[in-house]
Every structure is written in structure tokens, then in C-alpha cells.
């Protein structure tokens, strides 16, 4: 289901200062929601341990994508928090989680996934190389605009919704996760 995209199209996330913070060149894996994230575990396994990603985990399971996110990868995942999902109308979210809406849910979730691994320094470099904005095609067919603002990496979806990376560079055995504060939606979908 996932198509690999070139590394040059890799998407977003984090702050550059976080990526450069380690004094010895090796960075400790950040925690997510207070839970330690293990670099030898998959994206799906680590997300299941993060208390602020329970809605995302439930959505991934409902969409039938858990096994994919346990696969070899590599992937870059922009992971919306529970609070990010809370910005979506509850009735609309509940409807989206119903089995008959699985295809739509898959598209939304895969609009948060890139078929390559990109840490925040990689993304910041692509943004700089592209003159301040880098277009990021996702495996779900969405195009996200990645850019820097106030030292933070941001994403804008095709509807103009903006997400900020709140925790960058969470290393996983099959890629990297960047936690974001908003759900990205395909063109024409309101939320």
C-alpha cells in the first residue's frame, strides 16, 4: 500500500535546535507523552506506549495500518497527539473510525507518512535548499508544505491547516517520528 518516495521529497519536523542539542553528536531519544521511546522498537510499538498518542493508535488499528507501521520501512511519520485529534469535531471523528469509512481513514493517516526516513536536520536542509518551503508528497497522496517559523518546523496541508512539530527526531527501528499538534487532512476535507 505504501509507495516509497525519494528522500528528496521527505517531509518535515522538529526544531533544528533540538536536533543539534546533543553535545557529543549523539542524541538521546526524546520521550513522547512522558513515555520512553526505544530506538530498537517499531513506530507502531512505540506509539502504543505513548499516553498522548492513544487516539492515533486507535485510528491506525481501525484503518488496518498497524502491521504496516511494524514493517521494515523506513518511514517518517508525523504523529498527531490526542489534543490534535481533539481539534476535530467529535461526531466526525467517531464516524471516521467506523469500519465503513476505513478507506477515508487510511487516506488521512497516510497523509502523515513519508516513505523514507528524514530527521529534522535533513528537512531543514531541504527547506533551505528550496528557498524557505519544501513540498512533501506523502504516501497518502497529500502534499504538505514544510517550512521554518520562529525556529520551529511547521507543516501546512492542502486545506491551509498548520501543524507545528512539538517533539522531533524520535528514532525508531523502522524510521523516525515527529509529533505534531494538528491533524493534516487531504484536499477538500474539513476538520
Report residue 18 as a C-alpha cell: 533540538
pTM score, whole prediction: 0.84
Domain boundaries, given as residue ranges, for the chain: 7-23+30-180
pLDDT, position 191:
55
Distance, CA of 111 to chain centre: 8
Looking up cell 504496516 gives 68
Nearest to 146 by CA among 20, 19, 13: 13
pLDDT, position 72:
86
The DSSP output letter for 37 is: -
Instruction: Compute the radius of gyration of the chain from its Cα atoms.
Output: 15
Report residue 111 as a C-alpha cell: 497523509
Digit-coded pLDDT (tens) for 56-108 = 999 999 999 888 888 888 999 999 999 999 998 889 888 988 999 999 999 99
pLDDT tens for the chain, 191 residues long, are 333 333 323 333 333 333 333 323 456 889 999 899 999 999 989 999 999 999 999 999 999 988 888 888 899 999 999 999 999 888 988 898 899 999 999 999 999 999 999 999 999 999 999 999 999 999 999 999 999 999 999 999 999 999 999 999 999 999 999 999 999 999 877 65
Q: Reading across the β-sheet that carries 175-180, which strands appear in turn?
A: 113-114, 75-80, 175-180, 162-172, 152-156, 143-149, 134-137
Tell me which fold the domain 7-23+30-180 belongs to. Answer: FAS1 domain (2.30.180)
CB contact at 8 A, 10 and 134: no
Amino acid at each position: 500500500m505504501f509507495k516509497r518516495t525519494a528522500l528528496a521529497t521527505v517531509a518535515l519536523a522538529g526544531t533544528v535546535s533540538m536536533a543539534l542539542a546533543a553535545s557529543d553528536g549523539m542524541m538521546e531519544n526524546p520521550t513522547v507523552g512522558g513515555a520512553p521511546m526505544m530506538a530498537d522498537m517499531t513506530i507502531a510499538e512505540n506509539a502504543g506506549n505513548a499516553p498522548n498518542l492513544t487516539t492515533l493508535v486507535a485510528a491506525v488499528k481501525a484503518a488496518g495500518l498497524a502491521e504496516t507501521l511494524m514493517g521494515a520501512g523506513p518511514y517518517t511519520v508525523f504523529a498527531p497527539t490526542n489534543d490534535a485529534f481533539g481539534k476535530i469535531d467529535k461526531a466526525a471523528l467517531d464516524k471516521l473510525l467506523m469500519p465503513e469509512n476505513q478507506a477515508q481513514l487510511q487516506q488521512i493517516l497516510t497523509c502523515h507518512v513519508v516513505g523514507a526516513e528524514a530527521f529534522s536536520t535533513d528537512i531543514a536542509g531541504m527547506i533551505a535548499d528550496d528557498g524557505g518551503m519544501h513540498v512533501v508528497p506523502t504516501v497518502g497522496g497529500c502534499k504538505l508544505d514544510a517550512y521554518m517559523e520562529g525556529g520551529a518546523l511547521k507543516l501546512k496541508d492542502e486545506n491551509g491547516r498548520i501543524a507545528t512539530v512539538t517533539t522531533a527526531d524520535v528514532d525508531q527501528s523502522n524510521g523516525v517520528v515527529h509529533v505534531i499538534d494538528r491533524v493534516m487532512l487531504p484536499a477538500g476535507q474539513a476538520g
